[in-house]
Amino acid sequence: MPFRTIRLSEVSDDDVSRWSDLAARACEPNAFIEPEFLLPLERAFGDRDERRLAVVERGGEWLAAMVIRVARHRVARVPYRSVALDSEGGPPFRSHPLVDRDVAEDAWCALLDGLRRDGFPPLLALGFFPADGRLHDSLMEVAAHRGMAWQDDRTDEWAWAHAGRPAPPVHDIDAWLAGLADWYPHLSRRSGKAMRRAVRLAEQATEGRLAYEDLSGSAAAVAQFIELQASGWKGDRHRGGAAIARIPGYRQAFEQIVDALRAEGRFHLSALTGGERTLHMACVVRGRSGTWFGLLDAFDEEFAAASPGRLGRLLLSGRLAGLDPDEAFDPGIMPDYAADTAMFPDRRRFVYRRVSFGGATSAMLLRALPTLTRLSATTRRMRGSASP
């Protein structure tokens, strides 16, 4: 199977077509590694030389596509490099590759062999990689067959909503609230009580009844979302905000992404309103081979006491269950946010895994990394305690 790497700025129209076809056959969906998402951002922010698209082909078809960069590390004064998977924005945007479900093992072999043959570091760093499913299992089968060493730095359980969950009447807030325990049996009594209280607070603050709206087809709603996002802390660069409206070029790229995905029915925009006010808005996108992914959301900080973000996400999960009952939902909420994670019924494990695919030397380095990391941490603590 031929292997090559491509700068994203040099992807041709034929490449885009083959890339999209692969995305529809991928054993693990990932909307953030599809051309409709990556290429507008690449055009907006300029080509970064260190990023490449690693591709495996056969007979005019793409069988694997992985966005990579060479990462440089130093632990306990020992320098080393790895091939890191990359996506725009980092977590929670997933970076796992697209691999054809029918030839996953062969595609992984071709990827690893191609990287090694082209002189890339023989250590693969898989950040927030699915810990189950066909993509994971096929890589582990290749690793076992080849005797490749691998190591997990950490494992996290992320919020998730499996396919086939109940579809509550989200467009009737009274009915939705009355059946909250039936629609969301995973919620604790305390959480259910908090959601009912949040609805009362929101209606009092806005002097209107709450309503949940699907605005996916509205260009004006996209502009409203951008404004809402910029109105809060995300619009303040000094507070670490990265709102679309505050980053040059981001708005145009975002609108291009939305237009492309909306045309294919793979973009959803929801709004939680009260009276004349918009409390929360959320954008989600669907991979070509399935699964909805949380993209961005925003809420009006004036109504923060009413927990509009949690209310909005709970309603969104229910809406997607009715809109697309055969698809799972990956909200992309970092596990550190326990209260937000608790809004979702299921969990899925993701790992940060390093895989050595280059022989004895890289395997020895991989096995030494935990010891080197502990040594480095001990040295830092000793230096800190010795400081006046």
pLDDT in tens, 164-204: 999 999 999 999 999 999 999 999 999 999 999 999 999 99
Amino acid at 188: S
Query: Could you say which of 330, 359, 378 is where a domain stops?
Result: 330
Residue 255 lies in a domain: yes
> Largest Cα–Cα distance in the chain?
68
Shared domain for 86 and 121, answered yes or no, is: yes
Mean pLDDT for the stretch of residues 250-276: 96
Q: So what's the pLDDT on residue 1?
A: 87
CB 282 within 8 A of CB 313: yes
Shared domain for 99 and 220, answered yes or no, is: no
Residue 244 lies in a domain: yes
Query: Could you say which of 301, 330, 359 is where a domain stops?
Result: 330
Shared domain for 141 and 286, answered yes or no, is: no
- Which phi and psi angles does 164 have, rounded to 5°? 85, 10
Query: Could you say which of 302, 330, 358 is where a domain stops?
Result: 330
CB 246 within 8 A of CB 230: yes
Return all residues near 356 (Cβ < 8 A) that are at least 6 apart: 122, 123, 124, 148, 149, 150, 362, 363, 365, 366
Shared domain for 203 and 138, answered yes or no, is: no
Q: So what's the pLDDT on residue 388?
A: 54
Residue 165 lies in a domain: no
Shared domain for 316 and 356, answered yes or no, is: no
CB 228 within 8 A of CB 281: yes
- In angstroms, the CA 353 to CA 337 distance is 22
Q: How confident is the model at residue 47 (pLDDT cuts 50, 70, 90)?
A: low
Cα separations in angstroms, 192 against 38, 82, 364, 383 = 38, 45, 51, 49
CATH of the domain at 14: 3.40.630.30
Supply 82's token pair: 């790895």
Shared domain for 319 and 370, answered yes or no, is: no
Domains identified in the chain, total number: 2
Shared domain for 177 and 263, answered yes or no, is: yes
Supply 264's token pair: 């294919």
Residue 88 has pLDDT above 80, yes or no: no
Residues for the chain: how many in total? 388
Would strands 52-58 and 61-75 be described as parallel, antiparallel, or unpaired?
A: antiparallel
Residue 13 per-residue DSSP state:
H
Shared domain for 220 and 154, answered yes or no, is: no
Q: pLDDT tens-digit profile of 106-142?
A: 999 999 999 999 999 999 999 889 999 999 999 999 9
Mean pLDDT for the stretch of residues 13-26: 98
Shared domain for 180 and 326, answered yes or no, is: yes
Q: Backbone dihedral region of 308: left (phi > 0), alpha (psi from -120 to 50 degrees) or beta?
A: alpha
Shared domain for 373 and 302, answered yes or no, is: no
Q: pLDDT tens-digit profile of 212-259?
A: 999 999 999 999 999 999 998 888 877 878 899 998 899 999 999 999
Please, what is the average pLDDT of the chain? Answer: 92
Residue 92 has pLDDT above 90, yes or no: no
Residue 112 lies in a domain: yes
Q: How confident is the model at residue 369 (pLDDT cuts 50, 70, 90)?
A: confident
Shared domain for 144 and 180, answered yes or no, is: no
Residue 160 has pLDDT above 90, yes or no: yes
pTM of the model: 0.92
Cα separations in angstroms, 23 against 36, 100, 175, 291 = 11, 8, 38, 12
Residue 23 lies in a domain: yes
3-state SS track over 140-170: HHHHHHHCCCEEEEEEEEEEEECCCCCCCCC
Token pair 């209260």 is found at 339
Residue 336 lies in a domain: no
Shared domain for 212 and 255, answered yes or no, is: yes
Q: How confident is the model at residue 91 (pLDDT cuts 50, 70, 90)?
A: very low
Mean pLDDT for the stretch of residues 290-296: 95
Mean pLDDT for the stretch of residues 45-49: 67
Token pair 């940060």 is found at 352
The total of other beta-carbon atoms located within 10 Å of residue 316's CB is 28
Mean pLDDT for the stretch of residues 277-293: 97
Residue 281 lies in a domain: yes
Q: So what's the pLDDT on residue 380?
A: 73
Residue 64 lies in a domain: yes
The domain containing residue 55 runs over which residues? 3-159+349-386
Q: So what's the pLDDT on residue 241?
A: 81
